[in-house]
Each structure stands twice: as structure tokens, then as C-alpha cells.
Amino acid sequence: MKVEQISIFLENKPGGLTNVTRVLRDTKINIRALSLADTTDFGVLRLIVDDVAKAREVLKAQGMTVGRTTVVGVEVPDRPGGLYEILELLSRESINVEYMYAFVERSGENAVIIFRFDDTDRAIDILLRNGHAVLPGEKVHGL
Amino acid sequence: MIYNQEFETLPREVLEALQLSRLKQVVARVYHTVGFYRKAFDEAGVTPEDVNSLDDLSRLPFTCKQNLRDNYPFGLFTVPMSNIVRVHASSGTTGKPTVVGYTKRDIETWAELMARSYAAAGLTSNDIIHNAYGYGLFTGGLGAHYGAEKLGASVIPMSGGSTKKQIMLLQDFGPTAICCTPSYALYLAEAGAEMGVDMKSLRLRVGILGAEPWGERIRTEIEDKLNIVALDIYGLSEVMGPGVSMECAEGRNGLHVFEDHFIVEIIDPVTGEVLPYGETGEMVFTTITKEAFPLIRYRSKDISRLMPEICRCGRTFVRMERVMGRSDDMLIIRGVNVYPSQIESVLMSIEGLEPHYQLIVDREGSLDTLEVQIEISENVFSDEVRALQNLEKRITKDIKDILGVTSKVKLVEPKTLERFEGKAQRVIDKREL
């Protein structure tokens, strides 16, 4: 039920993002979702791609610092209160969300939220027990 | 083990009395035999009669490398060439080398100091010493060689280079100790491993390593890869050669300066003022027994700190911390003296950081700023911005705690900082002073 995310260190300077996306284009790797967290000096680009191993390999070959993290993809009903229910549940169970980002499924009916938890296994367990749609890794990578 | 029990453990007051009487003799001798010193003393308004205590040493003028160059090649020798039995010369990156001379007794003194150094490393006449310091004008090879013979050990006069042959002899002759630079020790370990030799199972147990700056991380790596105890030896050809000071196996914390032959001072490299024990500054050496080429207050340009605490090995000689850098590299940031190597050691004490960094010094208004740029490595990278910011904060805090200077730490992408062959140029000073 886990999703593999890669993260890349980028300095705040022109061309950084362009470089990453060019390398991925050249090797025909598709980006499923992304988020960019930034400070005044640097940013951390987080990507969900269709071929994690290859993406890491080609980016590292370019001399980039590439990390790998386990995140969780949850399908959220596209209606008011959909996200609230999930967050309220997690908060009640004292699960901390380190960060999250959302994208919309191809069919456009549901939103998918990518969560980074402090305790991934327990979070998955709680979400499943409460009937939430935790997406299998292969589904998120191949969305 | 202590080679010269009597002199190496003299009570401080006896040692200092000995130093003073030797200092007075050498000061009188250089004043009366070397034009350079007479002129320098006269200009400073001091005479040999003014030296009545060790503190009076600070009244004497400094001698620096340029003075040696100006008197090239033999102008500072105090004895006729007929009494000189050997000369050595430093490489000198620019222009003429620095030439040093030795009388027969100087060579004997030097051999004893090297023998003391080996004994401090736990070696005896039963050891086989593989000497991979270069033989020739460089003081390392012959200095280490004569000391090993003085100790009564068996010497393998290997000299530098021919790495494959070195590895063969290390296997076949079974030396128990090796003398070389720390970087060459590492190189031997790696080259041996590549040749399929188990470098940990050689008979080597001790490395006497010097002639270049190194730190604890390199020491651990050498000790691990060669399965030896690696000890630091210090010397400079102008003062004698290797064997001016030596780390003892018992303490492994600082190098004992052989103070019955040399007086060491620490000075502020800018003001020339003598600093008390414990403070970091440039080491200044006065030789008090050398015959051919005595030096008065020679500025080594090497940065260190003196530790007067009595060592567990029993030697009463003061210890100098391993050399932290060169005074030429010193930066003054908001009035604080900062050596790039100090910042490097802070960075290297943080798990996972790579030694790729650059210091940018600038001025905003009337205030100096220091930016420390460090390449991120996978070991410290995180997908969480907060973790990276915490890393930056921790480095800033460590630098502030240890050096007393505020810096801005900036993580940069790998391989973006210039790579250096040999001597690294770590500092970009944008200030217009």
C-alpha cells in the first residue's frame, strides 16, 4: 500500500527544474504528481513517477542528490468535507502529517492526496480500518 | 616508552633553567657571528645581554622565510663550511629553495630526536622500519633513517614512489612500522587492496606519519585500512626536519615539542604578540642547541595551540595540537581570527557531510559576513525541508560555539563547487579592504 517518492535537492537558481524535467523527458519517464517545497536558498522537489528505479538512476547520473521516501496515496471523495474526515481521523490518532499534496485522477472523479506521515505503517492501518481508500503503490505510479 | 628518560621528563623548572642557559648562548653566538642577526638585533634595540629570562625572548626580532631566502644559500650559517657535514633544502614553491646546514653534532642531535620519536610511538631496536619518506634534499628520508639507526631498529630505506614494489616489500620484509605522509599511507592501503593484498594482515603495527596536515577522520581511515596505530610527527626543515615534535602512543593527543632543543611560542600572526598557553596562533621556534644553522624566533606559519597539561606518558614537554592550518590562510572576520581548516573540522565532525565546501567572505555596510557553502550529499539529504534547515542551523551553531563567529550556512547542489588539484583554494574574499 505504499508509494515510492523520489526527492531532489535544487538550489534556487534558474534552470534547476528545467534540467530535472529534461532528463526525465529524455529517458521517457512520466511524472504522475509533484510538489516543490522551497526556502529562500533551496528547494526540495518531490516526484511520483512511473519508473522509480530508472528515474533515480538517470538523475543521479547527472550528479543530482536524489532521496527516496515512502509516502501514502489516499483517494479522497470529491465533495465538501472529504479531506476533513481523513485529517480529523489522523489527528485523533495522533498521526503527524509531515507534508501532503494533491492531484486529480485521470477520470476526474476523485482527488488523490499524497501524504508523508511520521509513522507510515500505523497511518495505513488506521486509514484502512476506517474504510478509506488507500491506493496500492502500483496504482499510484501508473495512474 | 621514553628514549631519553633524563631529559624528556625534566621537572619544568629545571627544563626552563636549561632552556635559558642554552638560549643565552645561542643568542650571543648568532649576534657575534651572523651579520643578519646583528643588524636585526641592533634595529630592534636589543643586545644578547638583554636576555635574562625566557620572557625576554619576546624582545628579540622574528626571523622569517624571506630572511632565509635573502641569505641564500649559506649566509645564515654560523660555522665555516668545513664544519658542515650535510645540507638539505626545502622544495620552495617559488624561486630558490631554503637551504639548511648541519654539523656532525647537529646530525647526532637530530638522530636522537627521531629516536625519541620512534620510542614515543612504542618502537624499539627489535622493530623493522619501512621508511617511505623521500631521500634527498628533503629532510624526511635521511632524518627518519638516521633516527631509526640510532634506535637500533632495522631500516628499509625505501624512499618514495614505486608503490607496487613498496607493497611487495611490506609483505616480504615484514616491517613493523612505516614512515610516510598520511596521504601516501592511504594510497598504499588502496593500491594494495586493488592488487588483492590483504593490507590488514601485514606485520605493520605503527605508522609515523607527517609532513602534511591531516585530521582524526584520516587517522581513523588509515588505522582501519592498515590495521595500525597512526601517530603524527611534526617538523620543518628550517628548524631541523622531522622530530621537532612527536605524538606519544600513550596520550594520542597533541605532539610533545622536544623543548630541551627548541623553544616554542604561539603568537598572533597579525600583531606578533605572544599568546598564552591554550590560545590558537602561529608557532614560532627558536633552536637552542643547533650549531650550524640556529634560528631565533622563526615564524613557522603553522597554526596550532599549546597544551601545558602533563601528559600521561610522563614527558614534561609541552604538547602542540596537530597543525590546524597556515597563518597565510587566516581570515579576520569581525575581529575574530578564523582558519578555514577550523571550519573544515567543524563540518567534518557532522556525520554524513562531505568535505566539499567554500567560504565566501563579504562586507555588508561595515560588517563582515561569512557564508559557508556546503555541497549536499545523499547521506544528509532529506525530503523534508525542515530537516535540511535544521542541518544548516546546526552547522551555524557549531561554528559559532567553536570559532565564535556568526556565519550563514548554505547548502548547494553536489559538484557545483570547484574541485581542486592539490592545495585547495577554499576562500573567496569579496571585501575591499
Tens-digit pLDDT profile for residues B342-382: 898 899 888 888 878 899 999 988 889 999 999 998 899 99
Residue from B391, B413, B417, B419 whose CB has the most chain A CBs within 10 Å, to mutate: B413
Q: Where in the sequence of chain B do the CATH 3.40.50.12780 domains occur?
A: 99-328
Q: Going by CATH, does the domain composed of B99-328 fall within 3.40.50.720?
A: no
Is the domain of A62 the same as that of A24? yes
Q: What is the pLDDT of residue B94?
A: 62
On the question of pLDDT at B263 being above 70, the answer is: yes
Domain boundary among A28, A48, A69: A69
Backbone φ and ψ of B230, nearest 5°: -105, 125
Is the domain of A87 the same as that of A41? no
- Interacting residues of A64 by C-beta distance below 8 A, sequence separation 6+: A8, A9, A20, B413, B414
On the question of pLDDT at A1 being above 90, the answer is: no
Distance between alpha carbon B120 and the CA centroid of its chain, in Å? 17
pTM for the predicted model, two decimal places: 0.77
| Chain pair A-B, CB pairs under 8 angstroms | 53
Domain boundary among A69, A95, A125: A69
- Quote the minimal CA–CA distance from B221 to chain A in Å: 25
d(CA B6, CA B8): 6
Domain of residue A116, residue span: 70-141
Res. B422 pLDDT band, cuts 50 70 90: very low
| Beta strand extents in B35-145 (DSSP E only) | 84-89, 99-103, 128-131
Lowest mean pLDDT across B162-166, B406-410, B418-422, B425-429: B418-422
Is B384 close to A66, i.e. CB distance below 8 A?
no
Is A7 close to B383, i.e. CB distance below 8 A?
yes
- Quote the minimal CA–CA distance from A90 to chain B in Å: 20
When the pLDDT of each residue in chain B is averaged and rounded to a whole number, the result is 93
d(CA B280, CA B278): 7
Instruction: Say which of A10, A38, A67 has its CB closest to residue B383.
Output: A67
Q: What is the pLDDT of residue B274?
A: 98
Q: Can you tell me the mean pLDDT for A56-84?
A: 92
Q: A120 in helix, strand or coil?
A: helix
d(CA A126, CA B165): 65
d(CA A1, CA A72): 7
Is the domain of A86 the same as that of A132? yes
Lowest mean pLDDT across A126-130, B270-274, B380-384, B420-424: B420-424
Q: What is the pLDDT of residue B344?
A: 87
Structural domain count of chain A: 2
Distance between alpha carbon B97 and the CA centroid of its chain, in Å? 19
Is the domain of A114 the same as that of A124? yes
Tell me the residue type at A121: D
Is B383 close to A69, i.e. CB distance below 8 A?
yes
User: What's the pLDDT tens digit per position in B15-49?
Assistant: 999 999 999 999 999 999 999 999 999 999 999 99
Which CATH number belongs to the domain containing residue A82 in this structure?
3.30.2130.10
On the question of pLDDT at B424 being above 60, the answer is: no
Is the domain of A82 the same as that of A135? yes
Whether the CB-CB separation of B367 and B302 falls below 8 Å is answered with no
Is the domain of A90 the same as that of A33? no
Label the pairing between strands B262-267 and B177-180.
Answer: unpaired
Q: What is the pLDDT of residue A125?
A: 95
d(CA B330, CA B328): 6
Q: Going by CATH, does the domain composed of B331-429 fall within 3.30.300.30?
A: yes
Q: Where in the sequence of chain B do the CATH 3.30.300.30 domains occur?
A: 331-429
Is the domain of A13 the same as that of A49? yes
Domain boundary among A26, A42, A69: A69
Nearest CA in chain A to B373: A41
Whether the CB-CB separation of B206 and B177 falls below 8 Å is answered with yes
Residues of B in contact with A98 (CB under 8 A): 384
d(CA B192, CA B188): 6
Nearest CA in chain A to B408: A41
Residue from B371, B374, B383, B393 whose CB has the most chain A CBs within 10 Å, to mutate: B383
On the question of pLDDT at A114 being above 60, the answer is: yes
Tell me the residue type at B138: F
d(CA B239, CA B298): 8
Is B376 close to A99, i.e. CB distance below 8 A?
no
Residues of B in contact with A66 (CB under 8 A): 378, 381
Longest CA pairwise span in chain B (Å): 73
Whether the CB-CB separation of B63 and B298 falls below 8 Å is answered with yes
Is the domain of A53 the same as that of A75? no
Is B413 close to A69, i.e. CB distance below 8 A?
no
- Interacting residues of B383 by C-beta distance below 8 A, sequence separation 6+: A5, A7, A44, A46, A67, A69, A116
